[in-house]
Amino acid sequence: MAIQLTPKEQGLFEEAKAFALKNLAPISADFENGNKLPKKVFELLSHHGYCGLLISQELGGQGLNFLESALIYEGLAHGCGTIAFMLQLHNNITYEIATYYATSEAVNTLVPDMVTGKKLTAFALTEESSGSDAASIQSYAEQKEDGYHIHGKKSWIANALDADYFNVIVKKESSNRDMLMLLVEKDTAGFTIGENKPRMGGNGLSCCDLTFHDCLVPKDRLLSENGFKEALRAIDVARIFVPAIAIGIASRAIDMTVTYLGKRIAFNKPIISNQGVKWALAQLSAEVEAGRWLVYHTASLMDSGDTVAIKAAMNKLFAVDLAMKVTTQCLQLFGANGYHKHSAIGRYMTFAKLLQIIDGTSEIQKIVIGRALERKVRPS
């Protein structure tokens, strides 16, 4: 396995980073405050070829692999972590629909607009009483002559206000384990999208509860009868790209801090000239470089077809906890200016906290890894 990036791979990262610093960083504050509509941002991303990264060119995508896509998300995060996250969320859902499911012709006709970002998607798995424990969801669908009737409620669904289609995981009637994956359009009767939940960070991305009251979905919108397995695979993909974004915001936080401390004068010299400050930033930089290559390694394993669940959990655990550590320490070095409500470093820190929670908390990653260790001495 290669231990260095090819010129093409390095170029993808550099181009995404440059694009993000020029186009995303200037709007990140407005986006955080809800002043830049996600669909407008997607027009910009699509125009520059960042939609449909994993999807074949025949279907209108970019035909990239997991490592190449991870490099792009890392680069984009330098400009705005929230936008990079929103993009990978939509791209991942579209990739799953276009690649893995035996979908009907009705669904196939919808895919091209998803691939290009003209129509946005959301992934509806989480419920109030079930987050990472996907098997404990309570919402269900009854199969009748006219289609599937969904009952129940989903919580904390990202991109809910802007999505056109929802990839919804529900139990198959009264079954405790069998799950269905259904594609639900936003204007379907019996389907209600709740209000956006205000959060500490990442507010450019809407996050709402969904209610299904005898919501009728046509039979040809069935994506999979093995929804539980499909959901687990989708989570593994997220645990490759979310860490890439975490490394991107951590790296950007260090860059911003070095620039700021190089200009900030205290006791007649730039703060960056203090040995204690340089050592702190040197340690963080070394850890970010280690995390970066764990991301690349995990993505490369995915490209090779290897099982990545445990490595992906390690990847998610290390990268997002590191992003939180880096942004917190960098904010401290900014002093009062870092604590300003509208500071860029503050936005990076609150977004890093979100990454520790979404797509499986850091504690869940430790459980996944710990169980794998336990199986070495106590096979199930």
Check residue 114 and give its pLDDT.
Answer: 96
For the stretch 276-287, pLDDT in tens is 999 999 999 999
Closest by Cα among 64, 225, 45 to 120: 45
Q: Quote the percentage of the chain above a pLDDT of 70.
A: 98
Check residue 238 and give its pLDDT.
Answer: 93
Q: Which residues contact 298 (CB under 8 A, 6 or more apart)?
A: 239, 240, 243, 308, 311, 312, 314, 315
Q: Quote the percentage of the chain above a pLDDT of 90.
A: 82
Check residue 176 and give its pLDDT.
Answer: 64
Question: Residues 16-39: what's their mean pLDDT?
Answer: 88
- 10 Å CB burial of residue 58 (0-12, 13-18, 19+) is exposed
Domains of the chain as residue ranges with CATH: 7-115 (1.10.540.10), 121-225 (2.40.110.10), 229-375 (1.20.140.10)
264: left (phi over 0), alpha (psi -120 to 50) or beta: beta
Distance CA 124, CA 57 (A): 27
| Residue 35 dihedral angles phi and psi, to the nearest 5° | -90, -10
Residue 70 has pLDDT above 80, yes or no: yes
For the stretch 117-157, pLDDT in tens is 999 999 999 999 877 777 789 999 999 999 999 999 999 99
Closest by Cα among 55, 75, 54 to 66: 54
Check residue 153 and give its pLDDT.
Answer: 97
Residue 1 has pLDDT above 60, yes or no: no
Check residue 174 and give its pLDDT.
Answer: 66
Q: Which of 36-45, 79-88, 90-99, 234-243 bottoms out in mean pLDDT, i.e. has the lowest?
A: 36-45
